[in-house]
Amino acid sequence: MNALQNCPLHSRALKSGLKAGAMAAVVGLGILGAAQAAENPFAHFTGSWAGQGKITVQNGSSERIRCRGTYRAGETGATLSISLRCASDSYKFELASDVTYDGGSITGSWNEASRSVYGQIAGRATANSISAQASAVGVNASISIATRGNSQSVTIRSPGSEISEVSVTMARAGR
């Protein structure tokens, strides 16, 4: 054994260095995780979802609605295709959207197939939420999607439109 190994200062420095190295590794993993989330901001959305909620129409009446959603991220994770099909006893709609992520912002297009309406969408996205405005001739809607684990809530509000609000809670299908 050499004298340096028996030195209390060397021992403390070694332990301190190991602790600092461990902390650097933890911080590095946190940064890596954040970088991966930034590289693929839509990772928590991808997959199939199903659930139910409530649809409210222009005259204020409401009824139960059932929805199925499919989200597909592009290879780089910077694009997301959304397909949402919903039906109640009296109403049906098929919403599709393609969005691109760039530094926290999203832009893209949307369409509602059963009513032949299409337009633009813009907003913000994080790893677990999307908040956007969809617009078309005669239509303005706010869209909010929040994902927590295997649960997702979707709210679409379009005051003055035939369908003024849809609020749905969905779970990952097949789990």
Q: Total domain count for the chain?
A: 2
pLDDT tens track of the chain, all 175 residues?
445 445 454 444 434 443 433 333 333 333 333 334 445 688 889 999 999 999 999 999 999 999 999 999 998 889 999 999 999 999 999 999 999 999 999 999 999 988 899 999 999 999 899 999 999 988 899 999 999 999 999 999 999 888 999 999 999 987 5
Task: Give the structural domain span for 25.
Answer: 3-39
Residues 137, 166, single domain; the answer is: yes
Residues 152, 128, single domain; the answer is: yes
Give the pLDDT score at 76: 84
DSSP symbol at 91: -
Residues 88, 113, single domain; the answer is: yes
Residues 59, 140, single domain; the answer is: yes
Residues 25, 97, single domain; the answer is: no
Give the pLDDT score at 114: 87
- Which residues in 8-61 belong to E strands, given as ranges? 47-57
Residues 34, 51, single domain; the answer is: no
Residues 152, 113, single domain; the answer is: yes
φ, ψ for residue 138, nearest 5 deg:
80, 5
Residues 14, 91, single domain; the answer is: no
pTM, rounded to two decimals: 0.75
Q: Which amino acid is at 157?
A: R
3-state SS, residue 74: coil
Cα-Cα-Cα-Cα dihedral sign, residues 44, 46, 50, 54: positive
What is the number of other CB atoms lying within 10 angstroms of the CB of residue 163? 20
CA distances from 18 to 14, 25, 31, 105 (A): 6, 10, 20, 40
What is the distance between the alpha carbons of residues 134 and 102, in angstroms, rounded to a whole number? 18
